[in-house]
Amino acid sequence: MAAKIIDGKAIAEEMRQEIADQASQLKLEVGLAPGLAAVLVGEDPASATYVRMKRRACEKVGIESFGHELPADASQEEVEELVRELGEDPKVHGILVQLPLPDHIDEESVLNTVPLEKDVDGFHPVNIGRLTMKNREPLFIPCTPHGVIELLEQAGAKFEGAEAVVLGRSNIVGLPVAMLLLHRNCTTTICHSRTKDLPAVTSEADILIAAVGQPEMVKADWVKPGAYVIDVGTNRVDDVSAKRGYRLTGDVDFDEVKEVAGALSPSPGGVGPMTITMLLQNTLRSAQRALL
Amino acid sequence: MAAKIIDGKAIAEEMRQEIADQASQLKLEVGLAPGLAAVLVGEDPASATYVRMKRRACEKVGIESFGHELPADASQEEVEELVRELGEDPKVHGILVQLPLPDHIDEESVLNTVPLEKDVDGFHPVNIGRLTMKNREPLFIPCTPHGVIELLEQAGAKFEGAEAVVLGRSNIVGLPVAMLLLHRNCTTTICHSRTKDLPAVTSEADILIAAVGQPEMVKADWVKPGAYVIDVGTNRVDDVSAKRGYRLTGDVDFDEVKEVAGALSPSPGGVGPMTITMLLQNTLRSAQRALL
């Protein structure tokens, strides 16, 4: 039986339409659009591309986007001063500090400068602390983990009592997604590069999240028949037949796993479009909280 | 083969001797003892007992203890004002707010008032956030989870690649202990009341932490032969033959499990004495950080 393919692009598109409607209603009611400020330090081309994509996505749904660029040799104080100014700007409801920052910058200290109520990335230590603890609500849920949950919900996954396995333990995906699954009453396992027998662990999962950054690592025999599988990986692999000389692929061997899983989100086209969507949603919510 | 019994009392005693030595050395060097302030709101007898035990333990190792009691109807502002004053008192290196607080008090807001560098309980949301994330060090590790790890280390448990299962997901034990095991490269599973087949999950564990508050729930067939088992539970069960009419027992059926486990910490006499010891150690470290 072939898996149901979870179409992240379509789900994201529908959510963005809803966000656009609410943003235009907000503007009608209070005369101000939600605003997102993006801070880019240095000239890393991948980071510049991400910021450009996010700003373009903002414009499409009626969220005002403010770009702020600092040179690669900007000082800690300069970066934090900019973030503080944005923190006080009433037109800015969300502040996005594009990571990674240059090596000489203390990342945690910069993130601490983002006011909690504008932390639309959800990476402020207080937000992560609240996300971890039971009965404490973070003001914002980090975007990629939130997108993973949204895909599972829309695909009809049952969380209660399910065995969830998260492959990968990064601060931005693996750890927070594990906490979100746990709070939804999954029995939750986090496995990683030091796990002794990965396929033995992952093949127990009713819900499997792959977030390790290893191209097509998850094979058919790693997956329990009927499982919900979300592929968070986006890896470049060389491909001479491709125009760019490479193609993008997930952490899951799509062709194999789609014959076993009950539902599967592809990569690209699954979690990717959801991440920016959740950023837009967080920014909208922040503006609604501040303005209504 | 009978399990090695992990003697928490003996390990705690040895650590307290070391803490006492360092506290007296600190006093010699800078003329000031480490100081712990305990805040007790209301007259809950169990809470009063805990505070008394902690204060007595302080005195025995040369940590000065300051008791502060507020009536059960104290206002949010009164409690926070007291905590703020203690935050500014240079003789106080650790502030312990005894939980639970009365229902009308916003617990998180009070805990947020404790300065990060005096949060010897480790429950400030920023400390929990740092504990959760990779490559972020909390200033203090919460005492009971830290005691669990210390017992495992002293008993010779190997963390790297081990399957660790945490039974229970409380903010004060289950969740943080799971994060500590994960950071030590265990494959880490959190299970709980909604888990479908608990024995099937726990019997895979090389390291099993029982922290659910269910008397003698963990039976021999829940445990993998040779596993390290730490019993965090302390439950009262009726016992007419006991002088007080009850006896204390852990979450693990000691008599059964000791025949299967490789190492087992009893309760009482395992984690209990370690919790206060870690509080003393956190207070000492805080004083060393502030004074040296």
Residue B7 lies in a domain: no
Same domain (yes/no): A105, A160: no
Residue A37 lies in a domain: yes
pLDDT of residue B1: 64
Residue B238 lies in a domain: yes
Residue B287 lies in a domain: no
Residues of chain A with pLDDT under 50: none
Q: What's the gap between Cα A159 and its chain centre?
A: 20
Same domain (yes/no): A187, A74: no
Tokens for B94, please give them.
């650790």
Measure the CA–CA gap between A147 and A149, rounded to whole angstroms.
5
* Residue numbers of the domain that contains B63: 32-116
Measure the CA–CA gap between A76 and B119, rounded to whole angstroms.
27
Contact A185 B194 (CB under 8 A): yes
Q: How many Cβ contacts (< 8 angstroms) between chains A and B?
A: 95
Contact A134 B179 (CB under 8 A): no
Q: Is A121 a catalytic residue?
A: yes
Pick A182's closest partner by Cβ from B160, B163, B169.
B169
Closest-CA residue to B222 (of B165, B156, B287, B143): B165
What mean pLDDT do residues B50-79 have?
96
Same domain (yes/no): B267, B149: yes
For residue B213, the domain's CATH number is 3.40.50.720
pLDDT of residue B163: 98
Whether B26 contacts B33, CB under 8 Å: yes
Flag whether residue A53 sits within 8 Å of chain B, measured between CB atoms.
no
Same domain (yes/no): A105, A210: no
Measure the CA–CA gap between A223 and B2, rounded to whole angstroms.
38
Tokens for A36, please give them.
């997102």
Residue A133 lies in a domain: no
Count the domains in chain A: 2
Residue B164, phi-psi category: left (phi > 0), alpha (psi -120 to 50), beta (remainder): beta
Same domain (yes/no): B98, B195: no
Pick A188's closest partner by Cβ from B134, B170, B189.
B189
Q: Crossing angle for the helix pair A271-291 and A8-30, nearest 10 degrees?
A: 20
Measure the CA–CA gap between B239 and B195, rounded to whole angstroms.
30
pLDDT digits (tens, 9 = 90+) for A8-42: 999 999 999 999 999 999 999 999 999 999 999 99
pLDDT digits (tens, 9 = 90+) for B206-238: 999 999 999 999 999 999 999 999 999 999 999
Amino acid at B64: E
Same domain (yes/no): B159, B266: yes
ipTM of the complex in this document: 0.90
Contact A185 B192 (CB under 8 A): yes
Residue A7 lies in a domain: no
Residue A45 lies in a domain: yes
pLDDT of residue A126: 87
Same domain (yes/no): A183, A260: yes
Measure the CA–CA gap between B247 and B235, rounded to whole angstroms.
8
Whether A72 contacts A101, CB under 8 Å: no
Same domain (yes/no): A161, A110: no
CB atoms inside a 10 Å sphere around CB A73: 10
For residue A71, the domain's CATH number is 3.40.50.10860
pLDDT of residue A110: 94
3-state secondary structure chain A: CCCEECCHHHHHHHHHHHHHHHHHHHHHHHCCCCEEEEEEECCCHHHHHHHHHHHHHHHHCCCEEEEEEECCCCCHHHHHHHHHHHHHCCCCCEEEECCCCCCCCCHHHHHHHCCHHHCCCCCCHHHHHHHHCCCCCCCCCCHHHHHHHHHHHHHCCCCCCCEEEEECCCCCCHHHHHHHHHHCCCEEEEECCCCCCHHHHHCCCCEEEECCCCCCCECHHHCCCCCEEEECCCEEEECCCCCCCEEEECCECHHHHCCCCCEEECCCCCHHHHHHHHHHHHHHHHHHHHHC
Question: Using CA atoms in the order B190, B142, B206, B154, what is the torsion angle rounded to 10 degrees?
Answer: 180
Measure the CA–CA gap between B162 and B178, rounded to whole angstroms.
13
Strands (E), chain B: 4-5, 35-41, 64-70, 94-97, 163-167, 187-191, 207-210, 228-231, 235-238, 246-249, 263-265
Question: Is the predicted pLDDT of residue B27 greater than 70, yes or no?
Answer: yes
Q: Which residue of A has its CA nearest to B160?
A: A194
Closest-CA residue to B275 (of B232, B229, B216): B232
Same domain (yes/no): A98, A206: no
What mean pLDDT do residues B70-80 have?
97
pLDDT of residue A65: 97
Amino acid at A194: R
Q: How far does B121 lie from chain A, in Å, by closest CA?
A: 15
Same domain (yes/no): B264, B176: yes
Q: Is B98 a catalytic residue?
A: yes
Residue B264 lies in a domain: yes
B207 three-class SS: strand
pLDDT of residue A1: 64
The order of strands in the sheet holding B35-41 is B64-70, B35-41, B94-97
What sign does the CA torsion over A227, A232, A236, A239 have?
Answer: positive
pLDDT digits (tens, 9 = 90+) for B248-277: 999 999 999 999 999 999 999 999 999 999
SS3 content of chain B, % helix, strand, coil (to 5): 45, 15, 40
Size of chain B in residues: 292
Same domain (yes/no): A187, A256: yes
Contact B182 A190 (CB under 8 A): yes
Same domain (yes/no): B261, B154: yes
